[in-house]
């Protein structure tokens, strides 16, 4: 009889642990599913606007962490970038600024995205938690025509919730 009681206790512990794991798994899956739906909707809007694929950079848990850390994007494919906090819950803000003093030498002081001005900082527009880039600066096209192997490594400053500025990188290539 004692063995039967131990089995029941063991089964109850396994059921409670399984329910807890299922609850946590379901909550995180829900966030990712919602995030995926939002991501696909954003990509569809960008593609409808004639822009290429959208690539996400996730910032967090601090400004020092970005995934991916160095993001290659394609001039030819008209890639765009969006930055999001690593936790999508409405409580975080991301700010992205490309400083003119850090523009790569091969860029001839041109900013990485449209609507920027030569030799001037370019702040990326953020609405809510997400910052979307414009299309890659079309003026960079002449540079890629001269050198199809050109690689432009743009450093930017990223902050999460206005704290701890940290460097990030996008790398613009022609292919």
For residue 68, whether the previous peptide bond is cis, meaning omega lies within 30 degrees of 0, is yes
Of residues 23 and 154, the one with the higher pLDDT is 154
Round to whole Å and give the CA distance between 109 and 100: 7
pLDDT in tens, 60-115: 888 888 888 888 999 988 888 989 888 878 888 899 999 999 999 999 999 999 99
How far CA 151 is from CA of 87, 113, 171, in Å, comes to: 31, 15, 7
pLDDT in tens, 107-152: 999 999 999 999 999 999 787 778 889 999 999 999 999 998 999 9
User: Which residues does residue 158 pair with via DSSP β-bridges, in sequence order?
Assistant: 96, 166
What is the residue-averaged pLDDT of the chain?
Answer: 77
């Amino acid at each position: 009889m004692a063995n039967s009681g131990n089995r029941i206790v063991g089964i109850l512990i396994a059921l409670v642990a399984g329910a807890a794991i299922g609850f946590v798994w379901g909550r995180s899956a829900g966030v990712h599913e919602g995030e995926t739906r939002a991501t696909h909707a954003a990509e569809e809007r960008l593609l409808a606007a004639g822009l290429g694929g959208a690539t996400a950079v996730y910032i967090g848990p601090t400004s020092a962490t970005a995934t991916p850390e160095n993001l290659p994007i394609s001039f030819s494919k008209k890639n765009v970038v969006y930055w999001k906090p690593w936790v999508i819950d409405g409580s975080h803000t991301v700010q992205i600024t490309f400083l003119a003093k850090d523009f790569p030498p091969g860029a001839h002081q041109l900013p990485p995205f449209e609507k920027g001005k030569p030799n001037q900082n370019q702040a990326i527009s953020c609405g809510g938690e997400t910052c979307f880039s414009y299309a890659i600066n079309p003026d960079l096209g002449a540079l890629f025509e001269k050198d199809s192997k050109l690689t432009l490594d743009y450093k930017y400053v990223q902050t999460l919730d206005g704290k701890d500025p940290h460097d990030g990188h996008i790398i613009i290539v022609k292919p």
